[in-house]
Amino acid sequence: MRELTLKAYAKLNLTLDILRKRPDGYHDLAMVMQSVSLADEVTLTLTDTAAIRCESNVEGLPTDERNLAVRAALRFFQETGLPPTGLHIRLVKRIPSCAGMAGGSSDAAAVLRGLRALLLPSLPMEELLRIGALIGSDVPYCICGTTALAEGRGERLTVLAPMPAACFVICKPDFPISTPELFGLVRADAIADRPDTAGMIAALERGDLAAVAARLHNVFEAVLPEKYGEVFAIKRRLLALGALNAAMSGSGPTVYGIFADRSAAEAAQAALSREWGQCWLAQPVRSAEDAV
x-or-dash pattern for ligand C5P, window 144-183, by CB under 6 A?
---------xx------------------------xx--x
Q: Smallest distance, Å, CB 131 to ligand C5P?
A: 14
**Whose CA is closest to 288, among 160, 173, 174, 169?**
160
Active site residue 48: no
DSSP assignment of 162-224 equals PPPS-EEEEEE-SS---HHHHHHT--GGG--S---HHHHHHHHHHT-HHHHHHT-EEGGGGG-
Q: Smallest distance, Å, CB 90 to ligand C5P?
A: 23
Q: What are phi and psi of 247, to 5 degrees?
A: -155, 165
> Is residue 136 involved in binding ligand C5P (CB under 6 A)?
yes
Pairing of strands 255-259, 52-56: unpaired
Residue of 107, 138, 172, 235 marked active site: 138
Strand-pairing partners, residue 90, are: 43, 55
* Strand (E) or helix (H) holding 22: none
Q: What share of the chain is helix, strand, coil (3-state, %, to 5)?
A: 35, 30, 35
Subset of 26-55 contacting ligand C5P (CB under 6 A)? 26-27, 29
Residue number closest to ligand C5P, CB atom: 137
Identity of the residue, 153 or 194, whose beta carbon is nearer to ligand C5P in the bound complex: 153
Identity of the residue, 197 or 269, whose beta carbon is nearer to ligand C5P in the bound complex: 197
Are the CB atoms for 44 and 118 separated by under 8 Å? yes
x-or-dash pattern for ligand C5P, window 183-222, by CB under 6 A?
x---------------------------------------
* Span of 134-142, 210-218, 219-227, 271-279 interacting with ligand C5P by CB under 6 A: 134-142
Residues that bind ligand C5P (CB under 6 A): 26-27, 29, 136-138, 153-154, 179-180, 183
Q: Which residues are catalytic?
A: 11, 138
